Amino acid sequence: MFSKKSIQLSLLLLFIASQIGHAQKQPNIVLLFADDGGYADFGFQGSKEMITPNLDKLASEGVRFTQAYVSASTCGPSRAGLITGRYQQRFGFEENNVPSYMSQYSGQDGPNMGIPLTEKTMGDYLKSLGYATAFYGKWHLGGTDKFHPLNRGFDEFLGFRGGARDYFPYENNPQDELNKLERNLGNYKEHDGYLTDVLADEAIDFIERKKNKPFFVFLSYNAVHTPMQARQEDMDKFPNLTGKRKELAGMTLSLDRACGKVLDKLKELGLDDNTIVIFTNDNGGPTDKNASINLPLSGTKSNHLEGGIRVPFLMRWPGKIKASSTYNAPISTLDLLPTFFKAGGGKDEALKNIDGVDLIPYVSNKTTGIPHETLYWKLGIRGTIRDGDWKLMRFSDRPAELYNIENDPYEQKDLAVYYPDKVKALFKKLYAWELTLERPAWLLQKKFEKVDIDRMDKYRNK
């Protein structure tokens, strides 16, 4: 016979064990990833034109990073860095991989334009921890089957392999085969409805089916990348805007609505308290093609001014991250992979040659210091380094520029002539980093003259 006291003790131990198990449960992870959004084109970033109530609410429930950077100012390289946690130049992914456009200028054929198979992706790492993984939307990391999401760590896929496509269904095959809508591997069929909504619905379906095990959803919207195609009913909500700006507002509204549907589903299923949600963007907004606004930052997509490489960035993890908070030190999208992996129970020793860091100790005030003292960018001979508050930009056709980002975040005053020793020191540090990189696997000769490539090799061979 068991005594009353022993039964009570057993029940207490069972309760404690259940609470420990609950506390150690792996969090779900949802990455909401926009394309070509302007730094200032969201309500939580101060926009008075754009309507983004769902993302604004997300910002109020977590942390907003004020100095979040991407590893490149264009789509493909930025995504390659994010999904590997490594500077993409370390494996030669320096330029956009657009085979139909590049083959005439580069020495590389389309089938080889992707993340090398030797690189582990975010999907690979999380699958190793038992996560169900899915990728929806724009891939842009290799067009042939060997680079396909299902061969790079993801269980499910609905999207397109290329870099841009229509939002409404194609009546005929698109001109670029890589932009056909594909379910999993090789099953091509156009969708019904507006693509931004379709991608969110697919993510919701996956979440519902995988709710009883840890899951990772990479929801890679093509919004708000060109072509400029918004639903008329969305544009009608912006009577005071015209032209591309009106179309962008409609597309941004649909992006926010789609994100809201995913967030609502997490709450409905009771998963929101144990789900890490990230919202960010792949590069600065193009102020010409889609009328994005990056103000008060200087620059635009494709350059290394702050407006080309600094992006909106939100993170929510209830109980781990303080609501309505901000984090002001520089971080990078390279940090997402190690952050997710460590949150899922991964060990440091399993992360191989990673350039990113786990952000959770920093935003939860468990670690002093800052995640990155130095960050780098490179495209051809063009190179940039941010070291502390100092930022040096190197060009092939004009003198370098030097800015103090703390005092001049809008990069209005070039200080290079006043601080020659600082310029020299940052040049040396940038060169030292470049010596650790691979030669670009493909490069647009139209953009970069042979003299620049020879100069790159000269530095690398010193």
137 and 173: one domain?
A: yes
Long-range CB contacts for residues 287-290, cutoff 8 Å, separation at least 24: 287/38, 289/36, 289/226, 289/244, 290/36, 290/224, 290/225, 290/226, 290/228, 290/244, 290/247, 290/248
Q: Which residues pair with 402 in a beta bridge?
A: 392
Q: Do 395 and 342 share a structural domain?
A: no
Would you mind telling me the total number of residues written for the chain in this entry? 462
Check whether residue 311 and residue 406 sit in a common domain. no
Residue 2 lies in a domain: no
342, 402: one domain: no
CB distance 32 to 279 below 8 Å: yes
Cα(307)–Cα(293) distance, integer angstroms: 9
Domain end, chosen from 323, 341, 363, is at: 363
Cα(78)–Cα(93) distance, rounded to whole angstroms?
Answer: 9
- Total-model pTM: 0.91
Can you tell me the distance from the alpha carbon of 69 to that of 299, in angstroms, rounded to the nearest whole number? 14
Q: Please, are residues 116 and 89 in contact by the beta-carbon 8 Å criterion?
A: no
DSSP letter string, 112-133: G-B--TTSPPHHHHHHTTT-EE
Strands (E), 346-400: 374-379, 382-387, 390-394
Instruction: Give CA–CA dist 208/196, Å, rounded.
Output: 19
Q: Is residue 321 domain-shared with residue 455, that is, in the same domain? A: no
- Residue 3 domain flag: no
Is there a single domain that holds both residue 315 and residue 389? no
> Distance (Å, rounded) from C-alpha 135 to C-alpha 199?
10
Q: How far is CA 206 from CA 35, 77, 213, 214, 219, in A?
A: 22, 27, 11, 12, 11
Asked if residue 216 and residue 144 are part of one domain, the reply reads: yes
Please check whether residue 413 lies inside any domain of the structure.
yes
Q: Per residue in 47-62, is it b (16+ CB within 10 Å) or e — as a string?
A: bebbbbebbbbbbebb
Cis omega (within 30 of 0) for bond into 296: yes
Task: Work out whether strand 382-387 and strand 390-394 pair parallel, antiparallel, or are unpaired.
Answer: antiparallel
Query: Is the domain of 359 the same as that of 444?
Result: no
- Which residue numbers are catalytic? 75, 140
Single out the residue in 315, 336, 363 at which a domain terminates: 363
- Same structural domain, 426 and 310: no
Other beta carbons within 10 Å of 335: 25
What is the biggest distance separating any 2 CA atoms in the chain, rounded to whole angstroms? 89
Report the candidate in 140, 122, 165, 141 with the shortest Cα–Cα distance to residue 31.
Answer: 122
According to DSSP, residue 157 is labeled E
Q: Say if CB 79 and CB 73 are below 8 A apart.
A: no
Number of domains in the chain: 2
Q: Is residue 391 part of a domain?
A: yes
Final residue of a structural domain among 363, 385, 414: 363
Strand segments, DSSP code E, in 8-57 are: 28-34
Give pLDDT tens digits along the chain (462 positions). 556 565 555 555 444 444 443 444 999 999 999 999 999 999 999 999 999 999 999 999 999 999 999 999 999 999 999 999 999 999 999 998 876 555 555 555 667 889 999 999 999 999 999 999 999 999 999 999 999 999 999 999 999 999 999 999 998 878 778 999 999 999 999 999 999 999 999 999 999 999 999 999 999 999 999 999 999 999 999 999 999 999 999 999 999 999 999 999 999 999 999 999 999 999 999 999 999 999 999 999 999 999 999 999 999 999 999 999 999 999 999 999 999 999 999 999 999 899 999 999 999 989 989 999 999 999 999 999 999 999 999 999 999 999 999 999 999 999 999 999 999 999 999 999 999 999 998 875 444 444 444 444 443 333
Pair 422, 284 in one domain: no
Q: Is residue 369 part of a domain?
A: no
Please tell me whether residues 306 and 385 are part of one structural domain.
no
Q: Tell whether 20 is covered by a domain.
A: no
CATH of the domain at 276: 3.40.720.10
Domain annotation covers residue 22: no
CATH of the domain at 424: 3.30.1120.10
Structural domain contains residue 13: no
**Token reading at 38:** 């302007």
First-last CA distance in the chain:
81
Which amino acid type is present at position 204? I
- The boundaries of the domain holding residue 319 are 27-363
Residues 164 and 281 in one domain: yes
